[in-house]
């Protein structure tokens, strides 16, 4: 029997602070902006706010390069603002979890500055320094993962940008520093952590060469799941997490379904849940996201089925379809044109009816879409900037790159939250903001959504509250129907309390569902089309329905 607990029932809402709301007029969102919108978030019905990094950082990778873990980035405010925000959240029954980015620091962190100084510096061993380049590894943001530094004539490892040197977790002192820092925030009352690229913290110290034409293989087999990973996670749990009643959610890049329990089995005392990338990488080719390929609904369904089977009643996952690293979910998995509203509602129906803790990314609640900037120079993400340089240097076709960027850019999800029809979508009063708003804010914005009872926003609110009332949707068993269909996703969730049928049409055309006699008498709990339903087994384009059957009815 599955254990019940608050973090399984919670609904997480991710805030990308720099794009949420700017109250100072500096063109960046800030902590006071978040505080001022807590009532808005509370009324949506979410429970936990995950904040992308808010710490001091030179901002090479939008704060995922931290130079001081115990101070707030000036652009976002000060520690007083943080304390006020946390208290205001707690006053409303909202929890706040922070982003724990400890696979790497910024190169401007004092540890790295020291470590770079001389080969016998105390901090030298906080990072990976080698006299000869140990491997041919590529970094996520292009180019070699080993960077030469002339001061001490040695190479250091950075799996991300060269301003993000990887920390050496083999060094006990490094681990202690991390645990102390976690205690610092937890003692302040923070409710847990989302852990950035956590499967990467233990390295294969012989650094085996990669196949440079198969980046995905390097991610899954060389950069993640290192030999001491689980030892480190258990230690972190024992020394820190177990002392508080908090959430631990690992970014699960590189974790395959059959490895899920190694991280999340309660008996192993490591993490509560991970969010795997299996469905998010379906459209990545061997060379990663800039090598896109098409995906099929059957593959998508296969991912959720395998994770469900592998974890059984022992482990847990985070459910998500987008975040600050991916395109907008309605543009990627739905139809952001003629069926934007319907498909956005369908996708949240999926997230709220699968087993796992759903995580909503800011702006999804109004169906924000991908952006298509005319010029590649309008993109701010280091990943794109480096790619542009690389393609230019190789004389490749820049129009082709632009086409790919429009589809896959992380900046798609990073444009400002669209509050209203004012300048910069009501996000800021500054003349220039750090990244432009999506021009469609005049149609898609919170203010208009709140005025329209049929909006995506009200559907989110309704289905969030349904999930909370019907715990079977959280914990219940899962069984699929028509699993070979490329058009519809049909499944039931059931336990001793109830039996629910979920029917989702993932196409622009009407679809028929094979009759399921058991559900003939079920009642409709929620659907994304208004008006009456004449046939239970016929779905309109992007139609989503949840039916309910009392267990004994
Ligand atoms: O992301 C880790 C990660 O591997 C990917 O999501 C990656 O950023 C993307 O696929 C690149 O193509 C985490 C953070 O969420 C991301 O924002 C950071 O850039 C990265 O770690 C480094 O800290």
Asked if residue 15 lies in contact with residue 362, where contact means CB atoms within 8 angstroms, the answer is yes
Is the same domain home to 88 and 48?
A: yes
Does position 553 have pLDDT exceeding 70, yes or no?
A: no
Of residues 60, 61, 155, the one with CA closest to residue 115: 155
On the 0-12 / 13-18 / 19+ scale of CB atoms within 10 A, 203 is buried
Distance CA 284, CA 282 (A): 6
Tell me what the mean pLDDT of segment 500-528 comes to: 97
Helix (H, G, I), strand (E, B) or coil at 26: coil
Which residue, 451, 474, 497, sits at the end of a domain?
A: 474
The preferred substitution site among 197, 277, 283, 284 for testing ligand 1, maximizing ligand atoms within 8 Å of CB, is: 197
pLDDT band at residue 100 under the 50/70/90 scheme:
very high
Distance CA 308, CA 324 (A): 25
Is the same domain home to 518 and 388?
A: no
Q: Mind listing the pLDDT tens digit for each residue in 105-121?
A: 999 999 999 999 999 99
**Where is 186: in which H helix or E strand?**
helix 172-188
- How many angstroms is it from 99 CA to the middle of ligand 1? 12
Is the same domain home to 52 and 120?
A: no
How many percent of the chain have pLDDT more than 90?
97
How many percent of the chain have pLDDT more than 70?
99
The preferred substitution site among 55, 64, 143, 163 for testing ligand 1, maximizing ligand atoms within 8 Å of CB, is: 64
pLDDT band at residue 222 under the 50/70/90 scheme:
very high
Tell me what the mean pLDDT of segment 545-552 comes to: 86
Is there a domain that residue 391 lies in? yes
Q: What is the CATH number of the domain that holds 121?
A: 3.90.400.10
Is the same domain home to 393 and 425?
A: no
pLDDT band at residue 231 under the 50/70/90 scheme:
very high
pLDDT band at residue 271 under the 50/70/90 scheme:
very high
Distance CA 493, CA 499 (A): 6
Atom of ligand 1 at shortest range from CA of 160:
22
Q: What is the DSSP string of 256-284?
A: -GGGHHHHH-GGG-S-SEEEE-TTTTTTE
Query: What is the total count of domains within the chain?
Result: 4
Is the same domain home to 93 and 2?
A: yes
Is there a domain that residue 183 lies in? no
Tell me what the mean pLDDT of segment 331-349 comes to: 98
Q: Mind listing the pLDDT tens digit for each residue in 425-440?
A: 999 999 999 999 999 9
Residue 114 annotated among the catalytic residues of the structure:
no
Which of the following is catalytic: 47, 59, 196, 336?
Answer: 196
Average pLDDT over the chain, rounded to an integer: 97
Give the CA-trace dihedral at 448, 454, 457, 459, to 10 degrees.
180
Atom of ligand 1 at shortest range from CA of 277:
6
Single pTM value for the model: 0.98
Distance CA 369, CA 355 (A): 26
223 lines ligand 1 (CB under 6 A): no
Q: What is the token pair recorded at 401?
A: 């790159």
Does position 531 have pLDDT exceeding 90, yes or no?
A: no
Is the same domain home to 132 and 3?
A: no
Q: What is the CATH number of the domain that holds 357?
A: 3.20.20.80
Is the same domain home to 383 and 431?
A: no
Is there a domain that residue 229 lies in? no
Does position 189 have pLDDT exceeding 80, yes or no?
A: yes
CA distances from 209 to 141, 144, 149, 223, 284 (A): 18, 12, 21, 11, 22
Is the same domain home to 399 and 515?
A: no
Sequence-ordered strand ranges (E) for 176-231: 192-195
Which residue, 434, 449, 474, sits at the end of a domain?
A: 474
Is the same domain home to 456 and 545?
A: no
Is there a domain that residue 207 lies in? no
Of residues 502, 518, 527, 515, the one with CA closest to residue 550: 518
The preferred substitution site among 325, 412, 413 for testing ligand 1, maximizing ligand atoms within 8 Å of CB, is: 325
pLDDT band at residue 552 under the 50/70/90 scheme:
low
- How many angstroms is it from 324 CA to the middle of ligand 1? 9
Is the same domain home to 457 and 531?
A: no
> What strands, in cross-sheet order, belong to the sheet with 154-157?
129-130, 154-157, 146-149
Is the same domain home to 360 and 379?
A: no
CA distances from 1 to 231, 313, 315, 330, 495 (A): 27, 7, 12, 35, 11
Residue 251 annotated among the catalytic residues of the structure:
yes
pLDDT band at residue 309 under the 50/70/90 scheme:
very high
Does position 551 have pLDDT exceeding 80, yes or no?
A: no
Is there a domain that residue 196 lies in? no
Residue 119: how many CA atoms within 13 Å on its side-chain side? 11
Tell me what the mean pLDDT of segment 233-237 comes to: 98
Q: What is the CATH number of the domain that holds 540?
A: 2.60.40.1180
Which of the following is catalytic: 60, 147, 251, 322?
Answer: 251
Of residues 503, 518, 507, the one with CA closest to residue 349: 503
Which residue, 430, 451, 474, sits at the end of a domain?
A: 474
Distance CA 245, CA 262 (A): 21
Q: What is the pLDDT of residue 443?
A: 98
Tell me what the mean pLDDT of segment 50-71 comes to: 98
Is there a domain that residue 141 lies in? yes
Tell me what the mean pLDDT of segment 281-293 comes to: 90
Is there a domain that residue 194 lies in? no
CA distances from 435 to 427, 438, 443, 474 (A): 11, 9, 19, 37
User: Best-predicted range by mean pLDDT among 26-30, 286-290, 528-532, 534-538?
Assistant: 26-30
Range of 135's domain?
110-157
Is the same domain home to 352 and 433?
A: yes
Tell me what the mean pLDDT of segment 442-449 comes to: 98
Q: Mind listing the pLDDT tens digit for each residue in 74-87?
A: 999 999 999 999 99
Is there a domain that residue 142 lies in? yes
- How many angstroms is it from 382 CA to the middle of ligand 1? 11
Q: Mind listing the pLDDT tens digit for each residue in 11-46?
A: 999 999 999 999 999 999 999 999 999 999 999 999
- How many angstroms is it from 169 CA to the middle of ligand 1? 19
Residue count of the chain? 553
pLDDT band at residue 533 under the 50/70/90 scheme:
confident
Asked if residue 403 lies in contact with residue 374, where contact means CB atoms within 8 angstroms, the answer is no
Distance of CA 450 to the CA centre of its chain: 25
- The residue whose C-alpha atom lies closest to atom 16 belonging to ligand 1 is 325
């Amino acid at each position: 029997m599955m254990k019940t607990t608050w973090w399984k029932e919670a609904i997480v809402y991710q805030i990308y602070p720099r794009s949420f709301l700017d109250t100072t007029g500096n063109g960046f969102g800030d902590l006071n902006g978040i505080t001022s919108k807590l009532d808005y978030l509370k009324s949506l019905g979410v429970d936990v706010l995950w904040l992308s990094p808010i710490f001091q950082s030179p901002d090479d990778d939008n704060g995922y390069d931290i130079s001081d873990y115990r101070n707030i980035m000036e652009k976002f405010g000060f520690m007083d603002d943080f304390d006020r925000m946390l208290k205001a959240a707690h006053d409303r029954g909202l929890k706040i979890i922070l982003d724990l980015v400890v696979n790497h620091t910024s190169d401007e962190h004092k540890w790295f500055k020291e470590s770079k100084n001389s080969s016998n510096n105390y901090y030298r061993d906080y990072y990976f320094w080698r006299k000869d380049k140990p491997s041919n590894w590529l970094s996520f943001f292009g180019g070699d993962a080993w960077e030469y530094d002339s001061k001490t004539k040695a190479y250091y490892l950075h799996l991300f940008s060269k301003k993000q040197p990887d920390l050496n977790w083999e060094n006990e002192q490094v681990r202690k520093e991390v645990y102390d820092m976690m205690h610092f925030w937890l003692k302040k009352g923070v409710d847990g952590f989302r852990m950035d690229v956590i499967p990467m913290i233990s390295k294969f110290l012989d650094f085996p060469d990669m196949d440079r034409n198969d980046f995905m293989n390097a991610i899954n087999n060389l950069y993640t799941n290192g030999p001491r990973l689980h030892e480190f996670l258990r230690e972190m749990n024992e020394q820190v997490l177990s002392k508080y009643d908090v959430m631990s959610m690992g970014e699960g890049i590189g974790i395959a379904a059959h490895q899920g329990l190694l991280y999340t089995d309660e008996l192993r005392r490591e993490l509560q849940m991970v969010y795997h990338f299996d469905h998010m990488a379906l459209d990545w080719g061997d060379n990663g996201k800039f090598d896109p390929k098409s995906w099929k609904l059957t593959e998508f369904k296969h991912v959720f089925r395998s994770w469900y089977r592998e974890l059984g009643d022992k482990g847990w996952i985070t459910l998500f379809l987008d975040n600050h690293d991916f395109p907008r979910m309605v543009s990627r998995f739905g139809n952001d044109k003629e069926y934007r509203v319907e498909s956005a509602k369908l996708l949240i129906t999926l997230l709220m009816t699968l087993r796992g803790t759903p995580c909503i990314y800011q702006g999804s609640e109004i169906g924000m879409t991908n952006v298509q900037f005319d010029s590649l120079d309008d993109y701010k993400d280091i990943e794109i900037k480096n790619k542009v340089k690389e393609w230019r240097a190789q004389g490749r076709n820049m129009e082709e790159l632009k086409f790919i960027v429009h589809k896959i850019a992380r900046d798609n999800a990073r444009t400002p939250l669209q509050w209203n029809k004012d300048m910069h979508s009501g996000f800021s009063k500054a003349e220039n903001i750090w990244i432009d708003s999506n021009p469609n804010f005049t149609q898609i914005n919170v203010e208009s959504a709140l005025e329209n009872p049929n909006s995506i926003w009200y559907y989110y609110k309704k289905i969030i509250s349904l999930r909370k009332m019907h715990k079977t949707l959280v914990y219940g068993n899962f069984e699929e129907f028509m699993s070979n269909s490329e058009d519809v996703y049909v499944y039931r969730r059931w336990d001793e309390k109830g039996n629910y049928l979920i029917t989702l049409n993932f196409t622009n055309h009407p679809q028929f569902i094979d009759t399921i006699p058991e559900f003939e008498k079920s009642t409709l709990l929620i659907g994304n089309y208004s008006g009456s339903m004449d046939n239970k087994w016929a779905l309109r384009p992007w139609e989503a329905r949840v039916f309910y059957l009392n267990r004994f009815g």
